[in-house]
Amino acid sequence: MSEWPPTEVGGDTRASSTISEDAPWALPMVSAIPAAQPSPSWSRRDFIKGIIASGVTVSGLSYFGSGCSGALPAQTVGGVERLLSLSVNGQLRRVDVLPAETLAMTLRYKLGLTGTKLGCDRAECGACTVLIDGVTHYSCSTLTHRVRDREITTIEGLEGPNGELHPVQQAFVDELSPQCGFCTPGQVMSAVALLRRNPNPTREEAREALAGNLCRCGAYHNYLNGVMRAAQSLGAREA
Amino acid sequence: MMKDMMAGFELFQPADVETALELLDRHGAASWRLAGGYDSLDWLKNRSKQTRAVVDLERIAELRGIRESGGGVEIGALTTLTEIETSQLIRERYGLLADAARKVASPQIRNAGSIGGNLCQDTRCWYYRYGVKCYRAGGNTCYAAAPEAMNREHAIFEASRCVAVTPSDCAPAVVALDAEMVVRSRAGERVIRAADFFMPPSIDIRRMTVLEPEELLVAVRLPAAWAGASFYFEKVADRNVWDFPLVNVAAAFRMDGATVADARIVCGAVQCTPRRMAAAERLVVGRPRTEQVAESAGAASAAGAEPLAFNAYKVSLVENLVRRAVRGAQTSEPA
Amino acid sequence: MAELLGKDFTPPDIVGKVTGRAKYAEDFRRDGMVFCRLLTSPMPHARVRNVDARAALAMPGVVGILLPEDVPEQEGVANNILTYEPHFVGEPILAIAAVDETTAHNAIAAVRLDIEPLEFCVDPLESLRPGGPNARAGGNALIPQEGLQEVKWTEEDFAAAGEGQLPMGRPGEEWSYGDLDAGFAASTLVLDESFVTASTSHHSMEPRTAMAYWEGGKCYLHASCQSQSNALPGAARLIGIAPEDLVFIAEYCGGGFGSKGGAYPLMAIPAHMSRKVGRPVLMRVSRAEEYVLGSARPGFQGRIRLGFRPDGRIAACDLSIIQENGPNSGFGDLGAAASAVSLVYTPQAMRYRGISVLTNTPPRGAQRGPGQNQIHCAVEPLIDKAARQLGLDPVAIRRINAPTHESLYGGNQSHITSAYLREALEMGAERFGWQERRARSGQRSGSKVRAVGVGQAFHSAGSSGFDGLVRIAPDGKLHIHTGVGNLGTYSYASTSRVAAEVLRYDWANCEIHRGDSSRGLPWNNGQFGSNTSYTMSRTNYAAAMDALQKLKAIAARELGGNANDYDVRDEAVFSRANPSRRLTYAQAARTAIQLGGRYSGMETPQDINPMTRRAVESIAGTGLIGVARDNLPQDGMVPALAAGFIEIELDVETGLYEILDYLGVADCGLVMHPTSLATQVRGGAVMGFGMAAAERHVYDPRWGLPGAVGLHQAKPPSYLDVPSEMDWAAVDQAEPNNPVGVKGIGEPLMGCAAAALLCALSDALGGHYFNRTPIVADMIVNAANGRPQAHRQLQVNTQ
C-alpha cells in the first residue's frame, strides 16, 4: 500500500473515510453527484458551472404505454417532455420525447420498434442504424427532437404489404448472412440505403457502404454476398 | 462505469445564426453547441461533462452548403463530411479536404458529422474521456504523462502539462490549405487563420480551440491560393473504420514546373494542435520532389520531439509520413 | 446416402434476424416493468464501508435498491452478484430500480459510498515477486485442488531466469512425459523464447442485458446466453430457487464467444430485484460495463523451449505459463494451452509448468479457443523461426510434427479419436498455391513487402452423455426438442436434422422446439467448446433411433412379424417383405398414444436427466416419443483441427498491412452444413485477425483503470480491416466416433487465422519474432525502424 493514497498528485491528502479526491477512479462518480443535494464532504469540489445548473433530472412518463403505473418522477429544469409527431415507416406516430432522448431509445422503448438494436450506444457498432430521409444514421447518437420532420425508416419498415421480405432481407437469408443476428438489422439498413443510392454497386463499394456496421461474428463476406445478390435481384425485378 | 443515460438539459433548436448566438450569449459557459453530435453525446452520456442548455445547430440552413466565394470556396460549418467528401467542387479544387473527410470514422458518422464539429471536437485522451480529473478537466495532474501510463496515442511535441493530441483528420487539412475560420458572436464576426484556431495547452488547457463560449464557428473558407495544388493526405490508424489517427499528414504543394514553389505540410495527432512541419517545408521549397529531398524533409520533421514512454514510434511515423507526402504527393482521385 | 446432412438449408430462426422480429433479452417488455442500473466500483480493489442511498431512494420514480445482503454470496473466489469488496473497476456493488433508466442512473449518481481503496495488482509477475501485491486478501494464485493460495517466488527464482526471460518458481500445476533431457540432447536447434499473449475482450455485439419477472411462483428470466438447458441450473442457483421454478428464455443470443456459455452472476440481478420490488425488471448493460463485466480471455506470460532435430521434428518442449487469472475463479486456459502443444506439435518429450495468478482486472472466462488460441499465437511464429534456421518450408515443418490418429494428448497422454491436420495442411497448401506465393514472399514494392504465413490450431470438439428428445405428432410431423442454445452458428438446427435424417423425414415436416425451458427441452450440453456438432448430432441420433425402434415395434405389433422386419421411408414404417404393409408416421403416433407407456412418454428411461424427464412429462401422451441418453461409444478426446494460409502486404513505413488472401481449412469430420461451415471459417478468421493484430485490453498500471471500455479503444476488426472475400475448405473425413461422422470446429478456425497472420507479419520483417500478441502498428514501425519496443519485456495490459 506504499503508493496509496497518492499524495504526490494533488494538494491535500484525503481523509481515509472518503474517496480520495485525487485518485482518478473517484471522479466519474463524483462529477455526477447532483449539486442539488450538496453534502459537506463534496462541497469543496469545483464543479463546472454547467454541472451545478443541471441538477437532478428527470425523465418523463414511463418508457412504454400505460403499463408502468408507478410514481412518476418530478420534472425539473431541463427535462420536460414534448409531444412530437414522428414519421416512422410511413406512419405518423405521436410520442412524448425528452430533450436528452436518442432516437434509438424512442424507437425501442416508446414505439415498440425493437428491431433497431443498441450494441454500444456510442456510434461505434452500427447495430442501431436507421434511415433518416433515406440516409444511414446511428440512431443511438441522434436526438429524437432532431428528426421530427424527417422520414425515418427502420428494419420494421422494409417488408412489403403482404409481409414479403425486402430483396436485401431475402438475399441475406439466401446467403446465410447473419450469424448471431444482433448486427443484422443495421447491416440490412446500410445495404438498403446503398442500393437506393447505387443500384449496381461493386463489391468494394458495398464494403465501403457497410463499413460502419460492425459484425463480431465476422460474417462480412456473407453480408457482402447478400448485398450483391440483392442488387442482382433488384436489377432483375426492374428489367 | 459509463451508463449512457444523459442528464437532462434544455434543448434549443434555433433556425438562424442570430438566435443561436443569442442563446449562447444568454447561457454562456453553461451552454453546449451541438453539431453532428457524436463527440457531444459521448461526453453527455459519460456525464463527465454536463450542460444546462444544448443549442442544436442542425436546423440552421445558413450553416450548410459549399459555395464559391472570392475565388475560393466557403463551406458552412454544419456541412456534413459526406457532403464534403462527395462535393465535385471540393474534390476538384481541394481534394486534400475531400480525402481527409473520407477518412473520418465511418459512413454513418460522416453522414451526420460536420466539418465544424470535426474541427472543434475534443481530444480523445482516454484518461480524460474516462472522466479523471486531470488538468484538462480542471484538476492538477496529468495521468497520461505518468511514467507508467498508457500513452501510446499521446503527444510527442509541445506538451504543456497536458499530453493530449488533436484527433481530427480535417484539422491538418484546413491548416495545410491555409483556410480561414469564420467565427461569429453577438459582438460581430472575426476571421481566424486555421493555424491560429487551435488552442495549445500552454495557453488554455481546458479547450481545444480559441472559440469563446458565446462564439460560433459558422464557416470555413478555403483560399484561392491553394486551389488545385498538389495534395497528399494519409492517415495511419489501427483500424480503417472508426479509429482516430495515430498520426496523419496533410500536405499541399504549389508547383512551379518540377520545383516546389510553396509547401504546407501538417501533421495531426502529434500534439494538441495540428503541427506545421516548418523545417520540412523549408527543405522542400525551391527544390524538386525527389527521393533525396523527401528523405531530408522526413528526417527533419521530428526534430524536437519528446516522446513519452509508449509513443516513440510516432517519431518514425512523422518522419515516414512527411517523406511520403513529399515523395508521393497525389491529387484526389476524381469522383 | 444422406438426404439432409451435407446440404444447405434455411435455418428457421434466420428470417427473424433479417426482419428485426428476433427477440433478444432487451427486446422483451412486461406491464409494469421497471429499469435497473448498477453502481459499480470505481476502484480496482476496495472495501465499501457504508452506503448512503437516502437521497437516491427519495427520488421520485425510484422503486427499490438491491444490496449485497439481498443476494446469495458466492463461495470462495466465484464471481459475486453484488459485493462490498469489489475486486476490479466496474464490479457491481448495488443496483437501483426506477420507472425509467434516466431516473435509475440519476439515483445511482446520488448514492454516497464510503469506500476504502485496498492493495491491488494488474500484473501477475509483479504479484509473484517477493512482497508483491495480492489481488485478494486470501492470496494471489489459484492452485488446482488447493484453491486460493499466496505464492511468492524468490529473488533467486527471478534472477535465475536471465535477462528478459520468464522466471519460473513454484508452479501451481505441472506435468511431463518422455525424457526431456534426452530430447534436448538429441536436438540440433533449441529455441528459447519468452512471450506475452494479451488478454482480449469478447466484444459481443449484444451487451449482457437481462429481464426478469415472477409469476405463479416461478421466475421468468430472459437472458443473453449461448446455452439453454445447460445454463438453467446455474441460473436457478444464482437466483436461489429450484431449477423447476425457473423459466429460462434464451432464444437468441447476440454473440457470446464463450463469455455467455453458462449462467453468470449479472443475469440474476433483475430476478432478485424483481422479487424485491414486485415488478418486472429490465437491466440494460452499457458497452463500457460489458467490457469489464463481460469477462475476457486470460493473457499469458510464457516461456517455451523447443528442441528440433535436423529434419525439423520436435524432440523436446519445455513450456511455462503464468496466466492472468483476473480476481475470481478464472478459467483453465493455461492447462488447455499446454495440452494443445502436446497434440499439435507432438513433441517427443514435454514438460509443462504453470500458475494462474490473480489480478484486479475483469474476471476471466472462456473465449473461443481458450488457451489453445493464445499458445498457437506464441508458438506458430516460433515454428517458422525454426524452419528458417533449419532451411525448411513452413508447411513442411508443420507436416512433420502434425498429429496422426495415434497421437496422444496432454499430460495423461490420452487417446484421440481422429486427426487430419496433416491432410488439412496438404489440401490447403495445394489450394492456396503456397509454393508460388511463398516464392513471392519478401518482394518489395516501394515500402510494401509481401509475405505469407501458415497457422494451425486445435480445440477439443465433442462430448457425450446428454439426452435427445423427439416427438412424432398424430399429424405425422416431427418435433425435435433441443436444449443446446443458439449462439448464432445454426448448429442447433443442423444437428436437429440428424433426427430427421435417421427417420427419413422431409425437412418441411419437422419443427424445432427450443429457446424457452417451458417448451419441453431436454438436458443438453451448452453451446460452447466447439462441441455442438458432435454432441448434439449424437443426442438427436440417439433420440431418433429410439423413435425408430418404437415405430418398428408398433408396426410389428399392429401388422405382425418382428420389428427387425420393418424399415422406414416416406414418413411411413413398412414391411421390407411386403411394402404395402405399412403404417404412416401419423398412424404410428396415434397408436403410440393409445399404447402409452414408453411409446408415448408415459414411461421414461432410467438413465435420462431429471430435466429431460420433466420435458418428457410435459409432452407425454401427445405422440410417439423418442427419448434417450447418448450412450454411444466414444474412445478418446475428439480433436477439432484447422490450418490457415495467408498472404499479406505490409507497409514498413506505416506499420499497416493488407490481407491479400486467406484460406482456412477445417478438420471437422464430414461437413454437415456447408455454408455455415464457410461462415465459421471466415468469421473465425476475422476474430483471429483481431486477436493477432488489433484488439486491446488496456489497464493503467498505477491506478488499475480500464483503458479499453469502448469499441474504438478495444478495436475488433471492421469490414475494411479484413478481406472482402475469403476462401475455405474442409478435409471432409468422417469422425469415427460420431454416427454421422461429424465433429466440431468453431474455435480453432480463429486460432489458425491468428497464427497465420502473426507468422506473415514476422515473415514480412525477415523472420522477426515479436514475443508478443497482438502485433500492432506501433510495434511494426518500431521493429522496421530499429527502435526498441515501448513495453517492458513481459509487460501485460499495455496499449
Task: Report DSSP letters for C461-506, one per residue.
Answer: ------EEEEEE-TTS-EEEE--S--SSSSHHHHHHHHHHHHTT--
Which residue, among C622, C641, C753, has the nearest Cα to C343 in the 3D structure?
A: C641
In a domain, C718, yes or no: yes
Locate all alpha helices (DSSP H) within chain B, ordered by sequence: 17-27, 38-46, 81-86, 88-93, 95-102, 107-112, 115-120, 126-130, 170-176, 194-197, 278-284, 291-301, 313-328
In terms of Cβ atoms closer than 10 Å to its own Cβ (0-12, 13-18, 19+), residue C217 is exposed
In a domain, B133, yes or no: no
Q: Residue C8 corresponds to which cell in the numbers above? A: 444447405
What is chain A's mean pLDDT, rounded? 76
Instruction: Provide the domain count of chain C.
Output: 2
Sign of CA dihedral C708, C712, C717, C721: negative
CB contact under 8 A, A98 and B47: no
Q: Is A7 an 8 Å CB contact of chain B?
A: no
Q: Residue C668 corresponds to which cell in the numbers above? A: 471437422
ipTM of the complex: 0.97
CB contact under 8 A, A37 and C19: no
| pLDDT single digits (tens) B74-87 | 999 999 999 999 99
In a domain, A140, yes or no: yes
Sheet strands side by side (includes C639-651): C444-445, C448-460, C639-651, C656-667, C727-730
- Residues A47 and A35: their CA atoms lie apart, in Å, by 9
| pLDDT single digits (tens) B194-240 | 999 999 999 999 999 999 999 999 999 999 999 999 999 999 999 99
Low-confidence winner among A78-82, B178-182, B237-241, C369-373 (lowest mean pLDDT): A78-82
Q: Is C27 an 8 Å CB contact of chain A?
A: yes
Nearest chain A CA: its distance from C571 CA (Å): 28
Quote the pLDDT of residue A23. Answer: 57
Confidence tier at A238 by pLDDT (50, 70, 90): confident
- Residues C210 and A65: their CA atoms lie apart, in Å, by 20
| pTM, entire model | 0.95
- In single-letter form, the type of residue at position C33 comes to M
Residues of C in contact with B316 (CB under 8 A): 781-782, 784-785, 787
Quote the pLDDT of residue A10. Answer: 38
In terms of Cβ atoms closer than 10 Å to its own Cβ (0-12, 13-18, 19+), residue C446 is exposed
Indicate if the pLDDT at residue A58 is higher than 90: no
In a domain, C689, yes or no: yes
Cβ-based neighbours of B28, under 8 Å, separated by 6 or more: A49, B213, B214
**Contact (CB, 8 A) for C481 and C540:** no
Residue ending a domain, among C101, C118, C135, is C118
Q: Write down the residue that cell numbers 396415434 correspond to.
A: C590
In terms of Cβ atoms closer than 10 Å to its own Cβ (0-12, 13-18, 19+), residue C228 is buried
CATH number, domain with residue C96? 3.90.1170.50
Residue ending a domain, among C96, C118, C140, is C118
Which residue, among C91, C151, C78, has the nearest Cα to C329 in the 3D structure?
A: C78
- Residues A26 and A29: their CA atoms lie apart, in Å, by 6
Low-confidence winner among A17-26, C55-64, C84-93, C238-247 (lowest mean pLDDT): A17-26
In a domain, A51, yes or no: yes
**Contact (CB, 8 A) for C695 and C297:** no
Q: Which residue of C has its CA nearest to B130?
A: C707
Cβ neighbours, 10 Å, residue C736 = 15
Q: Which residue of A has its CA nearest to B135?
A: A10
**Contact (CB, 8 A) for C669 and C642:** no
Task: Kindly state whether residues A174 and A136 are assigned to the same domain.
Answer: no
Confidence tier at C782 by pLDDT (50, 70, 90): very high
Which residue, among C546, C549, C567, C547, has the nearest Cα to C632 in the 3D structure?
A: C546
In a domain, C76, yes or no: yes
Q: Is C720 an 8 Å CB contact of chain A?
A: yes
In a domain, C796, yes or no: no
Subunit partners of chain A (3 or more CB pairs within 8 A)? B, C
Vertex A30, ends C82 and C38: CA angle to 5°? 25
In a domain, C533, yes or no: no
Residues of C in contact with B6 (CB under 8 A): 102
CATH number, domain with residue B91? 3.30.465.10
| Residue-wise DSSP of C532-550 | HHHHHHHHHHHHHHHHHHH
In a domain, C211, yes or no: no
- Residues B112 and B58: their CA atoms lie apart, in Å, by 10
Indicate if the pLDDT at residue C206 is higher than 80: yes
> What range defines the domain where residue C381 resides?
297-462+636-784
Query: Which residue among C102, C709, C715 places its CB closest to the CB of B5?
Result: C102
CATH number, domain with residue C396? 3.30.365.10
What is chain B's mean pLDDT, rounded? 96
Quote the pLDDT of residue A52. Answer: 24
Residue ending a domain, among C118, C147, C174, is C118
Quote the pLDDT of residue A71. Answer: 32
| pLDDT single digits (tens) B103-115 | 999 999 999 999 9
Task: Kindly state whether residues A86 and A146 are assigned to the same domain.
Answer: yes
Mean pLDDT, to the nearest integer, of A83-97? 97
What is chain C's mean pLDDT, rounded? 97
Quote the pLDDT of residue B104. Answer: 98
In a domain, A69, yes or no: no
Quote the pLDDT of residue B330. Answer: 47
SS (HEC) of C378-434: HHHHHHHHHHHHHCCCHHHHHHHHCCCCCCCECCCCECECCCCHHHHHHHHHHHHCH
Residue ending a domain, among A136, A156, A176, is A156
Mean pLDDT, to the nearest integer, of C28-57? 97
Residues of C in contact with B269 (CB under 8 A): none
**Contact (CB, 8 A) for A231 and A201:** yes
Instruction: Provide the domain count of chain A.
Output: 3
CB contact under 8 A, C790 and B313: yes
Residues of B in contact with C106 (CB under 8 A): 5, 7
Residue ending a domain, among A17, A41, A56, is A56
Percent of chain C's residues with pLDDT above 70: 100
SS (HEC) of C684-747: HHHHHHHHHHCCCCCECCCCCCECCCCHHHHCCCCHHHCCCCCEEEECCCCCCCCCCCECCCCC
CB contact under 8 A, C777 and B246: yes
Quote the pLDDT of residue C781. Answer: 98
Task: Kindly state whether residues A87 and A152 are assigned to the same domain.
Answer: yes
Quote the pLDDT of residue A77. Answer: 42
> What range defines the domain where residue A23 resides?
1-56
In a domain, A36, yes or no: yes
Query: Which residue among B38, B132, B141 places its CB closest to the CB of A123?
Result: B38
Quote the pLDDT of residue B334. Answer: 38
Indicate if the pLDDT at residue A57 is higher than 50: no
In a domain, A62, yes or no: no
**Contact (CB, 8 A) for C374 and C297:** yes
CATH number, domain with residue A126? 3.10.20.30
Q: First and final CA of chain A: distance in angstroms?
A: 75
Indicate if the pLDDT at residue B329 is higher than 70: no
- Residues B64 and B87: their CA atoms lie apart, in Å, by 13
Instruction: Provide the domain count of chain B.
Output: 1
Which residue, among C791, C690, C692, A201, has the nearest Cα to B240 in the 3D structure?
A: C690
> What range defines the domain where residue B284 resides?
62-120+165-328
Which residue pairs from A60-63 have beta carbons closer than 8 angstroms and sit at least 24 positions apart in sequence? A60/A96, A60/A98, A60/C100, A61/A96, A62/C99, A62/C100, A63/A109, A63/A110, A63/C33, A63/C35, A63/C99, A63/C100, A63/C101
Indicate if the pLDDT at residue B333 is higher than 50: no
| pLDDT single digits (tens) C103-143 | 999 999 999 999 999 999 999 999 999 999 999 999 999 99
CB contact under 8 A, C206 and A182: yes
In a domain, C536, yes or no: no
Residue ending a domain, among A156, A183, A201, is A156
Mean pLDDT, to the nearest integer, of B167-179? 98
Which residue, among C730, C734, C763, has the nearest Cα to C748 in the 3D structure?
A: C730
Mean pLDDT, to the nearest integer, of B167-172? 98
Confidence tier at B33 by pLDDT (50, 70, 90): very high
Confidence tier at C2 by pLDDT (50, 70, 90): confident
Omega cis (within 30) before C117: no
- Residues C549 and C231: their CA atoms lie apart, in Å, by 31
Q: Is C676 an 8 Å CB contact of chain A?
A: yes
Q: Residue B257 corresponds to which cell in the numbers above? A: 514546373
Size of interface B-C (CB pairs under 8 A): 135
B324: left (phi > 0), else alpha (psi -120 to 50), else beta? Answer: alpha
In a domain, A72, yes or no: no
Q: Is C185 an 8 Å CB contact of chain A?
A: no
Task: Kindly state whether residues A198 and A225 are assigned to the same domain.
Answer: yes
If you compute the radius of gyration of chain B from its CA atoms, what whole number of angstroms results? 19
Indicate if the pLDDT at residue A11 is higher than 50: no
What is the DSSP code (8-state) at residue B13? Answer: -
Cβ-based neighbours of C338, under 8 Å, separated by 6 or more: C175, C319, C321, C350, C352, C354, C371, C375, C410, C411
Confidence tier at A34 by pLDDT (50, 70, 90): very low
| pLDDT single digits (tens) A97-136 | 999 999 999 999 999 999 999 999 999 999 999 999 999 9
- In single-letter form, the type of residue at position C716 comes to P
Omega cis (within 30) before A5: yes
Nearest chain C CA: its distance from B175 CA (Å): 23
Quote the pLDDT of residue A22. Answer: 52
| pLDDT single digits (tens) B150-162 | 999 999 999 999 9
Cβ neighbours, 10 Å, residue B159 = 21
Indicate if the pLDDT at residue A14 is higher than 80: no
Confidence tier at A236 by pLDDT (50, 70, 90): confident
